[in-house]
Amino acid sequence: MGGEINRFWSRAESKVGRTIVRTELDLTIYLGKPEEGKVLSQSVEIDREVTQIIFSSDKIEKTLNESLSEAIESAFAKLLG
């Protein structure tokens, strides 16, 4: 198993009374099947925008982690499904 992070970008933009956090993620996951002599690949893209009332770096970290988890789970579901 391996992978590439093609794009992992996040931006927080503060406006009056809220912060808009936008995250873009593009991954390629590789899964080897030695018994078959194959390497499978799956690309996944996530584009997410979240609005927060109060800015918090912990909330941004949580959003990034959720995006990364979602991308990896989606890639494996497509590879193994």
pLDDT in tens, 16-31: 889 898 999 999 999 9
What distance lies between CA 66 and its chain's CA centroid?
7
User: Cα angle vertex 25, ends 24, 30, to 5°?
Assistant: 170
Indicate yes or no: pTM above 0.85: no
**Domain extent listing, the chain:** 2-80
pLDDT tens, 40-78? 999 999 999 989 888 788 888 888 898 889 988 998 899
- How does residue 81 score in pLDDT terms, banded at 50, 70 and 90? confident
Helix (H) or strand (E) holding 26: strand 18-33
